[in-house]
Amino acid sequence: MRKLVLATRNAHKVGELRAILGAAGLEVDLVGADAFPEVPDVAETGVTFAENALLKAHALARATGLPAVADDSGLCVDVLGGAPGIFSARWAGRHGDDRANLELLLAQLSDIADPHRGAHFACAAALALPNGEERVVEGRLRGTLRFEPVGSFGFGYDPILQPDGYSVTCAELTPDQKNAISHRGEAFRALTPILRDLLV
């Protein structure tokens, strides 16, 4: 069985990709970056989700000698020209402060009416092989931004994005329900046939 490493130390993300690959009948031994504690995290210096995903995937493939998958994602708001985009995790200034990021975004959009609150979650998933070969796919989840956060599932901007066709936010969906429609799930599923072609 081929070993594949996912550029994250988030066990939830590893489990999500493992489930997607399993459902597709693709047998790979998937591990997270925490299996290689000596490999440092990669600075996300790209200006697109795809560039950041490729930076992380190539760095991990070089460091481990294994095929590597990485993703980068964020929220893109129509009236903000696609922002916060790649800055989603540090929109309020400090990386990973979900509450501050969400509160700042809501304040910036406080006078924007419902018809103009369109947004989408975007995700780029990249595969890099030790020989330098690469592939990138993307996924999206369109929706509308609420005025107040609702729901206790998920993280980041999940409590304010209501997916198109739903009456609840992403944070009100169960993890399984969200994975079925999410931008990350869509990107990982699109990557599956590429993994099958290149790894099996």
The residues annotated as belonging to the active site are: 72
Residue whose token pair is 């992380």: 56
Cα 196 to Cα 71, 123, 133, 153, 193: the distances in Å are 18, 20, 15, 32, 5
Four-CA torsion 102, 182, 19, 39, nearest 10 degrees: -50
Tokens of residue 190, six digits? 């699109």
Four-CA torsion 69, 75, 77, 82, nearest 10 degrees: -40
